């Protein structure tokens, strides 16, 4: 293992007899202005020095890359966590707390703001994963980045010791204690393995709690890019004339006005005409592109609106939002600071209070409160297989991540979601499976999302947790009968999710 200062490019001397964790924190203390880069000795001649500055373009970034594509924490962590971060796409820059000792880096100043209990951890890979796992929710931006190395395809792959013992230890130290029991049962049910020794050994570890505070660190990206402050707003609407008017008024009061507001009005009645008379009989400080269609469905409406976007940025909106006059201005300020391409906001109802206050990577994506670069629309779309169900927002977010675009949450940017009453001419959509003798569980659209974006271990973990949680809520108390019934419902959900996928591509 070698350590380099990315500031000077010189190797840093250290006492190799000390645990690597202690060394890392000592180096951070002694070189507070440095970006610390670690690299395995086999790869030190393949560091992509030209890319280092752009990869670590602000001080709250931690990144690494595993040449083998494997981490010390095995993929079975998916039994415990179904968030996007454990099913890593190594072809692009991808958000993850899974870290590798092959190559990576973090700013010394950032490391100094992490006070952890386990700097003596001897396994460097484990330490890196632990640091990222604890710091990511507090505002550390953690990535797998393939651009750290040159000529990756020609590199010798070093052996990564994937350990079940390390997995149980990690779960015990970073999740609620119940998860080691869930992990034990998942190994037994899905792999027919009884992992008693790793389970019992993990009982002797306590949960880790790092003292992490990045609030005093100023974030300013070193990427010099001209940001064009022009934005289109898209709004699908159906039967909310008064609410939409309020949204347009809020947009007209913006300190940075949108260029275009693209409205897709849906009405399933064939002979109906638009009820939005104020679009034409009032003057608005932006161009309104109004599309009146007889096909209902938010996915279709949003895709139609997105196809009409011409500005550099697009704000995905809803017809029952309210926001302050500096909403768009705040978006662009954050874009300049963080150089991010997908930004999402606080999105609460009037009676709700915020509970999370860190600028951070998020696994949540909202189609009513997100700003993104319009060039990304060449790679993503709302999947109409989710129409009239659940999951289209999450699917769109996953598409963005899989193309190398992270979703960043900003707690100081707020949109109120009124969740206004449904418009008068909305009708209940009859689902394909409504008359099925065995009702699917989970919802086929949720299953479709899981099949698209979970790996095998995440899918199994989701299934286990669904079966366990639902047991308390139903009337069948015989475990054998309950399991048999749930297996049938799961099978019908798989079947109907395939029908949805086939219908979408028909």
Q: Each residue of 490-505: pLDDT tens digit?
A: 999 999 999 998 765 5
Q: Both 202 and 239 in a single domain? A: no
Averaged pLDDT score across all residues of the chain: 92
Same domain flag for 189 and 254: no
Quick: pLDDT tens for 139-172: 999 999 999 999 888 788 877 778 899 999 999 9
Task: Give the percent of the chain with pLDDT over 70.
Answer: 94
**DSSP strand E in 379-479: where?**
408-417
Rounded CA-CA distance 257/233 in Å is 10
Provide mean pLDDT across the span 5-10: 59
Asked, for residue 484, whether it belongs to a domain, the answer is yes
Span 401-452, pLDDT tens digits: 999 999 999 999 999 999 887 754 456 778 889 999 999 999 999 999 999 9
pLDDT tens-place string over residues 336-368:
999 999 999 999 999 999 999 999 999 999 999
Examine residue 429 and state whether it is found in any structural domain, yes or no. no
CB atoms under 10 Å from CB of 440, counted, come to: 22
| Cα separation, 166 vs 101, whole angstroms | 16
> Quick one: 79 and 110 in the same domain?
yes
Pick from 341, 344, 338: which is nearest to 403 by CA?
341
DSSP state of 371: E
The mean-pLDDT minimum among 38-52, 365-379, 404-418 falls in: 38-52
The runs of H, that is alpha helices, within 348-410 are 392-402
Burial bucket for residue 427 (CB in 10 Å: 0-12, 13-18, 19+): exposed
Measured between alpha carbons, how far is 343 from 358 in angstroms, rounded to an integer? 13
Confidence at residue 122, expressed as pLDDT on a 0 to 100 scale: 84
* pLDDT grade for 385, boundaries at 50, 70 and 90: very high
Q: Which of 212, 247, 266 is the last residue of a domain?
A: 212
Structural domains of the chain, count = 3
How many CB atoms are closer than 10 A to CB 455? 15
| Same domain membership, residue 318 and residue 453 | no
CA proximity to 399, closest of 431, 424, 374, 365: 365
Q: What is the pLDDT of residue 1?
A: 59
Tokens 């006070």 identify what position?
Answer: 115
Supply the pLDDT for residue 55: 97
Q: What six digits make up the tokens of 477?
A: 């108390």
pLDDT of residue 115: 86
- pLDDT, residue 438, reads 95
Q: Which residues pair with 259 in a beta bridge?
A: none
**436, part of any domain:** no
| CA 370 vs CA 196, 374, 472: distances in Å | 45, 12, 36
Identify whether 438 is part of a domain.
no
Residue showing tokens 């189609």: 367
Task: Categorize the per-residue pLDDT at 8 as very low, low, confident or very high, splitting at 50, 70 and 90.
Answer: low
Residue, of 455 and 157, whose pLDDT is higher:
455
Q: Is residue 208 domain-shared with residue 241, that is, in the same domain?
A: no
Residues 244 and 181 in one domain: no
- Band (pLDDT 50/70/90 cuts) for residue 117 is low
User: pLDDT tier at 9 (50, 70, 90 boundaries)?
Assistant: low
Q: What is the CA radius of gyration of the chain?
A: 25
Q: Clarify whether residues 320 and 412 are in a common domain.
A: yes
225 within some domain:
no
For residue 458, what are the domain limits? 444-505
Mean pLDDT of all residues in 260-278 = 94
pLDDT band at 13 (very low <50, low <70, confident <90, very high): low
Whether residue 373 sits in one domain with residue 449: no
What does the pLDDT read at residue 21? 82
Q: Any idea what the Cα angle at residue 349 is, between residues 344 and 354, rounded to 5°?
A: 65
């Amino acid at each position: 293992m070698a350590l380099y200062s990315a500031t000077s490019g010189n190797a840093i001397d250290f006492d190799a007899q000390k645990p690597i964790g202690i060394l890392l924190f000592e180096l951070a203390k002694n070189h507070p202005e440095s970006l610390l880069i670690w690299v395995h000795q086999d790869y030190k001649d393949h560091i992509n020095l030209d890319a280092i500055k752009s990869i670590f373009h602000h001080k709250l970034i931690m990144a690494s890359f595993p040449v083998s594509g494997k981490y010390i924490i095995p993929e079975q962590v998916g039994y415990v966590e179904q968030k996007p971060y454990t099913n890593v796409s190594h072809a692009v820059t991808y958000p993850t707390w899974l870290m590798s000792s092959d190559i990576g880096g973090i700013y010394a100043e950032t490391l100094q703001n992490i006070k952890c209990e386990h700097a003596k951890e001897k396994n460097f890979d484990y330490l890196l994963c632990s640091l990222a796992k604890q710091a990511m929710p507090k505002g550390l931006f953690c990535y797998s980045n393939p651009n750290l190395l040159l000529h990756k395809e020609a590199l010798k792959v070093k052996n990564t010791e994937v350990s079940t013992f390390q997995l149980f230890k990690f779960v015990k130290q970073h999740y609620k204690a119940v998860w080691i029991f869930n992990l034990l049962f998942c190994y037994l049910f899905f792999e027919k393995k009884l992992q008693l020794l790793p389970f019992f050994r993990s009982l002797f570890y306590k949960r880790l709690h790092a003292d992490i505070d990045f609030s005093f660190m100023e974030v300013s990206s070193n990427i010099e890019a001209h940001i064009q402050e022009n934005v289109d707003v898209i709004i699908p609407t159906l039967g909310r004339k008064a609410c939409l008017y309020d949204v347009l008024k809020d947009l007209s009061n913006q300190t940075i006005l949108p260029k275009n507001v693209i409205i897709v009005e849906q009405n399933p009645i064939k002979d109906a005409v638009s009820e939005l008379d104020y679009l034409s009989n009032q003057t608005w400080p932006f161009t309104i592109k109004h599309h009146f269609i007889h096909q209902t469905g938010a996915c279709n409406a949003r895709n139609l609106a997105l196809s009409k976007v011409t500005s550099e940025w697009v704000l995905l909106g809803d017809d029952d939002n309210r926001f302050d006059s500096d909403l768009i201005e705040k978006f662009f300020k954050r874009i300049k600071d963080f150089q991010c391409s997908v930004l999402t906001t606080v999105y609460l109802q009037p009676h709700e209070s915020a509970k999370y206050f860190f600028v951070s990577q998020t696994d949540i994506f909202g189609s009513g409160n997100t700003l993104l670069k319009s060039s990304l629309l060449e790679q993503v779309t709302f999947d109409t297989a989710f129409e009239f169900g659940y999951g289209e927002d999450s699917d769109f977010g996953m598409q963005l991540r899989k193309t190398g675009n992270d979703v960043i949450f900003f707690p100081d940017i707020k949109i109120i979601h009124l969740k206004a009453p449904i418009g008068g001419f909305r009708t209940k959509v009859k689902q394909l499976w409504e008359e099925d003798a065995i009702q699917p569980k989970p919802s086929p659209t949720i299953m479709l999302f899981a099949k698209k974006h979970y790996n095998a271990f995440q899918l199994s973990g989701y299934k286990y947790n669904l079966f366990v949680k639902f047991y308390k809520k139903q009337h069948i108390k015989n475990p054998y009968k309950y399991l048999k019934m749930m297996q049938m419902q799961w099978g019908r959900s798989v079947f109907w999710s395939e029908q949805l996928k086939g219908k979408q591509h028909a």
